[in-house]
Structure 1
């Protein structure tokens, strides 16, 4: 999709798209601090590249906010929405050719992979942090240079993957909810399979979902990709235990998870094929806003909970994070920065956050007071998605190597080889260590 948001454009928003935006207004605590002075270049026009929607309001409200920017500044903006699996390629092409979008809204580590090709946005980040209560830890990890006060990108929100489950089926399996103990969690999954409602977690190349599950397996057993100095630290008893656990978990699942795409678990859950998975708020949003009473009934039976902590001190989950970046090649850097600032201000950001039912959870702490978080207790688990110590490349510096390991599916494939019986845990671990060290030199 390539909408061009101009001053004369009108937007028709379908009924239900803004379901969350009708919530009662709740003041976002805002500090009175001066905004950075940004004078847009004469005749500036902007092209924005960002991931496509998983729920309709994501694009609808983003477009509406962009139209407001054009109305207030006269700067025409074109938005290109790209399917998630294609985003890494599109971002790489833009940076490597020095041509493309003026604002690139990529994922997680992208700002660190292309650090030398970005304009810093420290002035914007410091202003927004001071105005909106400060940044969550995960936002700082992805936005700032490692152990530096300089900002490479502007985190815009993160979607996390807690457990999403059918409450009635979990109860029928003999459990009151999602247990926090790994052994009990495995027994729950085994019981769900016995009663014909298995779980489903992908170890395919499904963006977001598969890395989320692989990371949970590793972190919940006390494993990590690298140590604090950036040295590969996978070869541990903890990783081997995680691999054994992955194999046991695979035996409880619905067939076909190794071929799942990014929407497969949504469809399987909504279609009644599985009783437990990991997901963002998209499944619940789809059910809750449906005009089908049967879907609404399923929404009522849907529960959310943190995945079992295991050996981790906090929920061993991170958030797939959107990061706004301004490439050095853009002829309109001030206009690009002005656009990013505008989209993060409360008048635009809170309707986007609220309309999406918190799908892209806030990176700025003040938005934790948004009305969306008190509107439905089932959303509470998503509120602090970016308040986490875990991230892609944990527990070392965010570097191009961390991004490369994620984009080359090193951890996902390590678990997949064992889960499918293709390799023994020790052999798969050895291959993963070798692959990771190719990037961490």
Structure 2
């Protein structure tokens, strides 16, 4: 995704901070005391985390880290890694027993390396009690499956709702984004009719294609597996999702099957499409651009939840940052104290607000943050982690679920149907067999 211009993004972030970061006393319980983590003598910390997507993310994270050093005397080195390389870096560190003392990986990582991590239940219980409790997705990714033990500390999540041009949606006959799947299809048909089609990837576009494929699946009541981990792709619900995907494909701009990770952003910014699914970055790229024409597109841009269909909540999940403490670290207390410090209101809220809605909070109290009132168009992102949906839904989070995603099993199931390569029944059976191979290994 394209990044907002540095000056514009930093100015917006600074404006939010000047406007008043959330006062800690407004959201915390004064009677909740932090667990004592006696700091190791001479401790130094190395932190590994994904690189920024917007400039304030890294700038404020570094400022908070310097404050930690000033208060504790502990020297901290933060290494930023490109997103595609982050899973490899976490795997290498945990499997070799060498590397950073704090690993801030993605989503399912705490479950994939559970036996290589120290539990952080004391820290999670303290933060949950102080800041109004954890959202459902944070608990799903942070805790052992169906237990109260925490393996990682979710720090924030980014999601992909509908991003659309208001004037074109209105021209297509709708005042906003309908929550009904049939009406949503009619909207997309209307957008194509007026020359401003939608665009969703079913290619191997990281993030975008899995987000759309999972929405198709979940909005029709289907899932990869059941609660016991049994593969359930070959089902009537999946068949309905495949039929719907085929109808949706007919409404789209040409070329989506060849899209990469930035294609939908470029198509939206250029005016080639009027509706897609994306994070907040495309909106702020437009809003903070030096070009007045792009600012005008930002004014005409809005966001909404993806239609629910058979789901009770928006069938979206969030790519989640999860902080972990590996067993090999020689300074576990310093590592836990660093995570605690970064999650406290004095540090966390400036980071949350400065990131302009890109990351959404895992702790419920931070829903009161100034960032969500700063721009009404950001509100839809505030609930990113208030969701039951996750990669591998509805079963245990295992390496098998990750392998299915990495091998594009669900995405390719839809792609084969919308391109006419296979019938829904044939594609379902092939996906069922492919997923079972991973769940048996």
Report TM bin, short chain: over 0.9
State the distance in 1 between where 2:10 and 2:378 align.
23
| Mapping 1:142-157, distance limit 5 Å | 142-157=141-156
State the distance in 1 between where 2:157 and 2:203 align.
21
CA contact (8 A) 1:44 1:75 kept: yes
Matched residue count: 429
Instruction: Report Cα offsets for 1:356-385 as digits up to 9, x if no partner.
Output: 122111000000111111222111111111
- Comparing 291-300 with 306-315, greater Cα deviation is found at 291-300
State the distance in 1 between where 2:113 and 2:22 align.
38
Query: Closer, same or farther in 2 for the Cα pair 1:241/1:21, shift >3 Å?
Result: same
Which residue of 16, 28, 31 maps to 2:29?
31
State the distance in 1 between where 2:289 and 2:402 align.
37
Which residue does the alignment assign to 2:5? none
- Comparing 221-230 with 406-415, greater Cα deviation is found at 406-415
Matched, 1:416 2:403: no
CA contact (8 A) 2:16 2:370 kept: no
Which residue does the alignment assign to 1:95? 94
Structure 1 unaligned spans of 5+: 1-12
Query: Closer, same or farther in 2 for the Cα pair 1:76/1:419, shift >3 Å?
Result: farther
Which residue does the alignment assign to 1:338? 337
Instruction: Report Cα offsets for 1:103-149 as digits up to 9, x if no partner.
Output: 11111111111111111111110010011010011110110001111
State the distance in 2 between where 1:265 and 1:424 align.
27
Instruction: Report Cα offsets for 1:182-221 as digits up to 9, x if no partner.
Output: 1221121122122221211112333322221111000111
Query: Closer, same or farther in 2 for the Cα pair 1:110/1:132, shift >3 Å?
Result: same
Which residue does the alignment assign to 1:3? none
Report the alpha carbon displacement of residue 17 of structure 1 after superposing the two structures with TM: 5.2
CA contact (8 A) 1:20 1:356 kept: no
State the distance in 1 between where 2:132 and 2:10 align.
34
Which residue does the alignment assign to 2:160? 161
| Mapping 1:231-380, distance limit 5 Å | 231-380=230-379
- Comparing 244-253 with 148-157, greater Cα deviation is found at 244-253
Give 3-state SS (helix, strand or coil) of 2:356's partner.
coil
Query: Closer, same or farther in 2 for the Cα pair 1:341/1:265, shift >3 Å?
Result: same
Query: Closer, same or farther in 2 for the Cα pair 1:73/1:91, shift >3 Å?
Result: same
Query: Closer, same or farther in 2 for the Cα pair 1:273/1:129, shift >3 Å?
Result: same
CA contact (8 A) 1:19 1:289 kept: no
What TM-score do you get using the length of structure 1 for normalisation? 0.93
- Comparing 277-286 with 245-254, greater Cα deviation is found at 245-254
State the distance in 2 between where 1:147 and 1:404 align.
22
State the distance in 2 between where 1:191 and 1:421 align.
23
| Mapping 1:203-242, distance limit 5 Å | 203-242=202-241
Report the alpha carbon displacement of residue 259 of structure 1 after superposing the two structures with TM: 3.2
Give 3-state SS (helix, strand or coil) of 1:18's partner.
helix
CA contact (8 A) 1:109 1:402 kept: no
State the distance in 2 between where 1:422 and 1:56 align.
43
Query: Closer, same or farther in 2 for the Cα pair 1:416/1:376, shift >3 Å?
Result: same
Which residue of 2, 5, 21 maps to 2:17?
21
State the distance in 2 between where 1:439 and 1:178 align.
37
- Comparing 158-167 with 271-280, greater Cα deviation is found at 271-280
Query: Closer, same or farther in 2 for the Cα pair 1:259/1:327, shift >3 Å?
Result: farther
CA contact (8 A) 1:17 1:60 kept: no
What TM-score do you get using the length of structure 2 for normalisation? 0.93
Report the alpha carbon displacement of residue 303 of structure 1 after superposing the two structures with TM: 1.1
Report the alpha carbon displacement of residue 352 of structure 1 after superposing the two structures with TM: 0.9
Give 3-state SS (helix, strand or coil) of 1:440's partner.
helix
Report the alpha carbon displacement of residue 403 of structure 1 after superposing the two structures with TM: 2.6
State the distance in 2 between where 1:50 and 1:212 align.
22
State the distance in 2 between where 1:283 and 1:308 align.
20
- Comparing 287-296 with 429-438, greater Cα deviation is found at 287-296
Query: Closer, same or farther in 2 for the Cα pair 1:100/1:296, shift >3 Å?
Result: same
Give 3-state SS (helix, strand or coil) of 2:86's partner.
helix
CA RMSD of aligned residues (A): 1.8
Which residue does the alignment assign to 1:9? none
Structure 2 unaligned spans of 5+: 1-8
CA contact (8 A) 1:51 1:83 kept: yes
CA contact (8 A) 2:157 2:385 kept: yes
State the distance in 2 between where 1:259 and 1:122 align.
44
Give 3-state SS (helix, strand or coil) of 2:123's partner.
helix
CA contact (8 A) 1:46 1:336 kept: yes
Give 3-state SS (helix, strand or coil) of 2:158's partner.
strand
CA contact (8 A) 1:84 1:207 kept: no
